[in-house]
A and B are shown apart, each in its own frame.
Chain A
Amino acid sequence: QSALTQPASVSGSPGQSITISCAGTSSDVGAYKYVSWYQHFSGKAPRLLIYDVNMRPSGVSNRFSGSKSDNTASLTISGLQAADEADYYCCSYAGSATYVVFGGGTKLTVL
């Protein structure tokens, strides 16, 4: 069982928007602004999409956005494209003892 809880799968049609939730606790997501999101194609290197809850690294499309409310973080992908079909993982700093925890991953299907 992963430390952070994500839906196993989400789906959407091209052009639509989807949101992936990431439920944590007051010891991780709720305690720090260090939430990040990753896109992962099987057999490839994961890619950083969002860090510090809502910051996008250079080169990441503004179709990807992040937010947080209390103990739950969210990733929103707008203007869905077929190329967005991948696994998405949330990650949070969880203090000096545990350090980092990931969510179980969400498989995005573009219909």
Chain B
Amino acid sequence: SAVISQKPSRDICQRGTSLTIQCQVDSQVTMMFWYRQQPGQSLTLIATANQGSEATYESGFVIDKFPISRPNLTFSTLTVSNMSPEDSSIYLCSVEDWGNEQFFGPGTRLTVL
């Protein structure tokens, strides 16, 4: 199984600012995913990031608000732009291995004041 790290693990940000979350995988993977999980809730897919192509966003999420980069097969970033308190959540990246299993990073806990 892939080992995934995320930075930062948590942050407290001011309204109107942006935060970039990094996701690093210890092996090359084709598909990486970004999820949001609000406290006590389920996981909601934000977008799918494939290397070499534009990220695919789910309904309710737009590139201007959540720009994603995928420069290579082991790394991706998600930026939460122009933050508001409603963006307070846990953001997780995940990767899919050859068996279609998804493995999650430890998550980034974001609080927006």
State yes or no: do A and B come from one complex: no
B residues touching A (Cβ–Cβ < 8 Å)?
none
A interface residues, Cβ below 8 angstroms from B: none
